[in-house]
Structure 1
Amino acid sequence: MANLKTTYMGIALENPIIAGASELTGHLESIQKIEESGAGALVIKSLFEEQVQLERFKLEEEAERYAERHAEMTSLYPKMEHAGPKEHLMWVKKAKEAVKIPVFASLNCVNHDTWLEYAKMLQDTGVDGLELNFYANPYEMDVTGASIEDGQVAVAEKIVNALSIPVSVKLSVFYANPLNVISRFDNAGVKGFVLFNRMFQPDIDVDQEKHITPLNLSHAIDNRLPLRFAGLLFGKLKGDICSNTGIFSGKDVIKMLLAGSTCVQIVSALYTNKIASIQSMLQEIEEWMGDKKYTKLEDFRGKMSKEHSKNPWTYQRAQYVKLLFEAEDIIKTAPLT
């Protein structure tokens, strides 16, 4: 039988499939199903600073709603205080205790001080590692890309130096040069790189003329981007590469490993094909490895990376030029309908 074990950020995993942060990792029942289905690890639903701020604001608004009409109530009932992230922290600790597979916390903040404060709190829950969600939705013209990158790297370095558990970063692709930014995080001591975060994109219902928030699931073709960057980064980092987005089958996982990933994260696959699909993905990997006579993942990991590629066109812009020369062959083989 093929050995699917791998190591991510120094943590041993039974296999390279990690259930990424989502609503499915926000409930004990689904978390336990994820473990039963064979996932190598899971990432708990993210702690968002903005959500904590919004809940605190709503509580204060509710408490003050009738303050002027019933002034005596303020003396009868002391002002309530929102618990902040405590509820989430209790949940993370409970989830960690409920399963035996490695559990990673996920954090998304907006203020520099809060990043470190919440990171320390999450470490105290007993999680195996911490994933930092770094992305920026620019809405001000005078903010430079360099200042955003500098700020994110500074936050990551501060957290890495303050924690004893390994830290990973989940990144968007919207950097001028993701390779350079990832290299900077690597030098700052980050141990894992999740490629890439699916950005929330608002939509508009034209009939009701209002903004809507659709569930943005990925599609199989979306895995081309993390595949490319995994191939470019293999052999260049001290940290591990974890591919994310558009991974639905065992073959998709194999592609990422061939490119150079240590592991993958899946979310959309769990919604589309159900949690139990993890079992079939693992079986597909084992069968492929058996056919290829591979006994462990390291036998082929990075085999198709840029570092080991025999084709100089594969990971370069020049591939577009190559396609121009092969245009006639592509037309001949393309379906007519």
Structure 2
Amino acid sequence: MANLTSTYMGITLKNPLVVGACSLTSNMDAIRKIETKGAGALVIKSLFEEQIAYQRYAHDEDIHLYDNWHAEMQSIFPEVEHAGPEEHLMWTQRAKESVSIPVIASLNALNIETWAEWAKKLEETGVDGLELNFFGLPDDLIAPAQEIEKAQVEAVQAVKKAVKIPVSVKLSSFYTSPVRIIQQLEKAGVDGFVLFNRFFHPSINVETETSSYPFNLSGPADHKLALRFMGLLHGQTKASLCASNGIHTSQEALEVLLAGADVFQTVSTLYLNSLDQITTILGDIQGWMRKKGYEKIDDFRGKLSEAKNGDTSAYRRAQYVRMLLRSQDYIKRPNLI
């Protein structure tokens, strides 16, 4: 049988499939099934600074008001047992004690003091690692990009001083130079990068002329951006690389592994296809490896990264130059006219 063993942030995983933070990882029955179906690790749903603030101001009844609005869709399973931050700690500890696979906590804060304080509290639950969920909505038209990036670097430094467990950062793609901020964060001590986050986007009902809030599930092609940066960063950083967003089948999983990912996160496909998809993806990866003659994932991991890919422009080309130069060939296709 093909060996799927992988390493993420120094943590040994039986395979590279990580179930990302979502409502599935806030439901104990689902967590146990995630392990049973074969996942290598899971990330507990995020603790948000809004939850901490609500507790401080005794606004517990408001905690679930916007559950559907963020990318992790907490309320697809509405029976979340614990909502406040102290209860979240209890839940995280219970989840860690209930499964044998690595459990990673997730924190989405704003203030440096909150990052450090709650990172330490999450560490005390016994989790194997911590994922910092970075994103600041650019609604401050005055704050320069350097100020936002500086605050994120300082948050990492504060967290790394507060905890001993490995720390990853889940980033958005909305940086002028993603590679530069990744380099800065690595210098600050980040052990792994999750690329990229998926966000809630608003919609408008044109009939009622009101805002609407649809679930934000990914599609299989959404992994392409992560694929690009896995290929660019493989061998260029000592931190672990986790591909995220749009990995629905073994096809996308194998692509990001060939590009250089150490592990990959999956969420949307589990809502669309059930937790059985975990077993399917892993089985298909093993089948592909047997067909190709690979005994372990490291035999092909990063085989098509930029450093090893014969097509030197594969990860740096951003426009359809070749297609434009051969536009007549595409126009002549029967299904296009």
TM-score by length of 2: 0.89
For the residues of structure 2 that align with 1:172 and 1:245, how far apart are their CA atoms?
11
For the residues of structure 2 that align with 1:210 and 1:298, how far apart are their CA atoms?
51
Provide the secondary structure at the position in 1 that maps to 2:243.
Answer: strand
Structure 1 pair 99/328, CA: closer, same or farther in 2 (3 Å)?
same
- Kept in 2: contact 1:33–1:275 (CA 8 A): yes
Letter in 1 for 2:145: G
267-276 or 206-215, larger mean C-alpha shift: 206-215
For the residues of structure 2 that align with 1:334 and 1:151, how far apart are their CA atoms?
54
Structure 1 pair 313/118, CA: closer, same or farther in 2 (3 Å)?
same
**2:230 equivalent to 1:261:** no
Question: Which residue matches 2:39?
Answer: 39
- Kept in 1: contact 2:193–2:240 (CA 8 A): yes
- Kept in 2: contact 1:131–1:167 (CA 8 A): yes
Question: Which residue matches 1:295?
Answer: 295
User: Could you report, residue by residue, the CA deviation over 1:175-214 in whole angstroms, capped at 9, with x for unpaired residues?
Assistant: 0011111111111111110010012212223333333322
Provide the secondary structure at the position in 1 that maps to 2:320.
Answer: helix
For the residues of structure 2 that align with 1:109 and 1:143, how far apart are their CA atoms?
18
For the residues of structure 1 that align with 2:115 and 2:57, how far apart are their CA atoms?
20
158-167 or 291-300, larger mean C-alpha shift: 158-167
Question: Which residue matches 2:211?
Answer: 211
Gaps of 5+ in 1: 63-82
Q: What's the CA shift for 1:251? A: 1.5
- Kept in 2: contact 1:172–1:197 (CA 8 A): yes
Question: Which residue matches 1:182?
Answer: 182
Letter in 1 for 2:255: K
Question: Which residue matches 2:7?
Answer: 7
Structure 1 pair 157/56, CA: closer, same or farther in 2 (3 Å)?
closer
Letter in 2 for 1:258: L
User: Could you report, residue by residue, the CA deviation over 1:272-307 in whole angstroms, capped at 9, with x for unpaired residues?
Assistant: 111111101011000100111000001111111111
Identical-pair percentage: 50
- Kept in 2: contact 1:41–1:102 (CA 8 A): yes
Provide the secondary structure at the position in 2 that maps to 1:221.
Answer: helix
**2:319 equivalent to 1:310:** no
Matches within 5 A, 1:189-200: 189-200=189-200
Structure 1 pair 123/212, CA: closer, same or farther in 2 (3 Å)?
same
Q: What's the CA shift for 1:55? A: 5.0
Structure 1 pair 330/300, CA: closer, same or farther in 2 (3 Å)?
farther
Structure 1 pair 174/303, CA: closer, same or farther in 2 (3 Å)?
same
For the residues of structure 1 that align with 2:13 and 2:51, how far apart are their CA atoms?
31
User: Could you report, residue by residue, the CA deviation over 1:82-127 in whole angstroms, capped at 9, with x for unpaired residues?
Assistant: x962110000000000100000000001111111000000000000
Question: Which residue matches 2:281?
Answer: 281
For the residues of structure 1 that align with 2:148 and 2:183, how far apart are their CA atoms?
15
317-326 or 31-40, larger mean C-alpha shift: 317-326
Letter in 2 for 1:251: Q
Say which one has the larger Rg: 1
Structure 1 pair 335/227, CA: closer, same or farther in 2 (3 Å)?
farther
Letter in 2 for 1:230: M
Structure 1 pair 14/331, CA: closer, same or farther in 2 (3 Å)?
farther
Letter in 1 for 2:91: W
For the residues of structure 1 that align with 2:87 and 2:318, how far apart are their CA atoms?
52
Question: Which residue matches 2:51?
Answer: 51
152-161 or 97-106, larger mean C-alpha shift: 152-161
**2:238 equivalent to 1:238:** yes
- Kept in 1: contact 2:89–2:121 (CA 8 A): yes
Matches within 5 A, 1:1-337: 1-54=1-54, 56-57=56-57, 59=59, 85-317=85-317, 320-332=320-332, 335-336=335-336
Letter in 2 for 1:153: V
For the residues of structure 2 that align with 1:332 and 1:94, how far apart are their CA atoms?
61
For the residues of structure 2 that align with 1:53 and 1:214, how far apart are their CA atoms?
26
TM-score by length of 1: 0.89
For the residues of structure 1 that align with 2:330 and 2:281, how far apart are their CA atoms?
31
For the residues of structure 2 that align with 1:181 and 1:237, how far apart are their CA atoms?
12
User: Could you report, residue by residue, the CA deviation over 1:120-179 in whole angstroms, capped at 9, with x for unpaired residues?
Assistant: 000000000000000111112101111111110111122113211000000000000111
Letter in 2 for 1:91: W
